[in-house]
């Protein structure tokens, strides 16, 4: 069994995989990670392998504990991966994006795949039928847009994410909701349309914290999978420990 640890910007996700099936999944504050790992290993003593992907900060004592108890892979830009990376600056490519592409390689081999991760940022990553990663795009996520409107102006309130009632907002609150949510949807639909104009046979994956909120509102046919990054990390772990 495998332990997957994804250290994000705001929280850390922990998942236990039995082969390719998720047995458990939880999200905790980063300061609670060590205690959570100990609890998981008590609950699942069959866990032998672990992988850490960190775009945030993980305390050194956590890594020391993992190395003492499990065979550990710490994902970085030198970790062997199952695709050809044609990014012009490969060392700057986020390891979370690497994991997402690995998941697409495992689940949609020999396909043109656009992976959209709607989280803190919205990232777009594309891999073609030749197993070549070409790059993508990065833009502000939904919460970042709400916060920017509040923080960069004198009078606009900070709102919770809410589906606008109409494209024409007839109050400041409705105008903000319309601008943020419809703006994101227009961006997603527009970028998907651009990719489809180049690649007629295109598979689209939507994942990330806002995937559920956005998936029912998109015009395009997509696969929504909230566990896609975790599945990619599990595949990388398998790829490096066979």
Q: Would you state the pLDDT for residue 55?
A: 74
Q: Tell me, yes or no, if 201 is annotated catalytic.
A: no
pLDDT at 242 > cutoff 90 = no
CB 205 within 8 A of CB 229: no
Catalytic: which of 96, 110, 125, 201?
A: 96
Residue 57 has a pLDDT of 76
Centre a 10 Å sphere on the Cβ of residue 137 and count the other Cβ atoms it contains: 14
The larger pLDDT score, comparing residue 36 to residue 57, is at 36
Q: Residue 48: what pLDDT?
A: 96
What integer pLDDT is reported at residue 54 of this predicted model?
Answer: 86
Residue 110, annotated as binding a ligand? no
pLDDT confidence of residue 111: 97
What are 192's two structure tokens? 């998907």
Local confidence band at 220 (pLDDT 50, 70, 90 cut-offs): confident
Average pLDDT over residues 77-89: 96
Tell me what the mean pLDDT of segment 81-93 comes to.
96
Q: Does 30 have pLDDT greater than 90?
A: no
5 bridge partner residues: 14, 52
pTM for the model: 0.92
Residue 48 assigned to a binding site: no
pLDDT at 219: 82
Q: Which residues pair with residue 114 across a beta bridge? A: 126, 204
Classified as helix, coil or strand, 41 is helix
- CA neighbours closer than 13 Å in the CB half-sphere of residue 72: 14
43-65 mean pLDDT: 90
Domains within the chain, CATH numbers bracketed: 2-74 (3.30.420.40), 84-232 (3.30.420.40)
Burial 156-184 (b: 16+ CB within 10 A, else e): beebeeeebeeeebeeeebebbbbbbbeb
DSSP string, 173-193: HHHHHIIIIIHHHHHHHHHHH
Tell me the per-residue pLDDT of 88-114, one tens digit each, with 9 for 90 and over. 999 999 999 999 999 999 999 999 999
User: What is the arithmetic mean of pLDDT over 147-176?
Assistant: 97
**Is residue 10 predicted with pLDDT exceeding 80?**
no
Mean pLDDT of 158-171: 96
Is 60 labeled as ligand-binding? no
64 is in an annotated binding site: no
Where residue 131 falls (left for φ over 0; alpha for ψ -120 to 50; beta otherwise) is left
Average pLDDT over residues 210-221: 89
Per the prediction, the chain carries an average pLDDT of 94
How large is the average pLDDT for residues 29-46?
A: 93
Cross-sheet strand order for the sheet of 2-7: 21-28, 12-18, 2-7, 49-54, 71-74
206, 159, 56, 32: CA torsion to nearest 10: -110
Long-range contacts of 61-70 (CB under 8 A, 24+ apart): 61/34, 62/33, 62/34, 62/37, 65/34, 65/37, 65/38, 66/5, 66/37, 69/41, 70/3, 70/41
User: Are 62 and 50 spatial neighbours (Cβ–Cβ below 8 Å)?
Assistant: no
């Amino acid at each position: 069994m495998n332990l997957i640890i994804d250290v994000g910007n705001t929280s850390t996700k922990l998942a236990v995989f039995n082969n390719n099936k998720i047995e458990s999944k939880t999200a905790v504050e980063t300061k609670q990670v060590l205690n959570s790992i100990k609890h998981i290993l008590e609950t699942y003593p069959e866990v032998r392998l672990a992988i850490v992907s960190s775009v945030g900060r993980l305390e050194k004592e956590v890594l020391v504990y993992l190395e003492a108890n499990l065979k550990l892979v710490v994902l970085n830009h030198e970790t062997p991966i199952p695709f050809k990376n044609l990014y012009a600056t490969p060392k700057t490519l986020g390891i979370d994006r690497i994991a997402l592409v690995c998941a697409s390689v495992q689940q949609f081999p020999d396909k043109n795949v656009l992976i959209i991760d709607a989280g803190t940022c919205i990232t777009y990553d594309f891999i073609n039928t030749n197993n070549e990663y070409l790059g993508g795009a990065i833009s502000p996520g939904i919460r970042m847009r709400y916060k920017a409107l509040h923080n960069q102006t004198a009078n606009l309130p900070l709102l919770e994410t809410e589906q606008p009632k109409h494209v024409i907002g007839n109050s400041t609150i409705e105008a903000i909701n319309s601008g943020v949510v419809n703006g994101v949807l227009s961006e997603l639909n527009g970028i998907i349309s651009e990719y489809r104009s180049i690649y007629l046979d295109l598979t689209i994956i939507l994942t990330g914290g806002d995937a559920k909120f956005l998936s029912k509102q998109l015009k395009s046919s997509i696969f929504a999978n909230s566990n896609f990054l975790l599945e990619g990390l599990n595949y990388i772990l398998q790829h490096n420990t066979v």
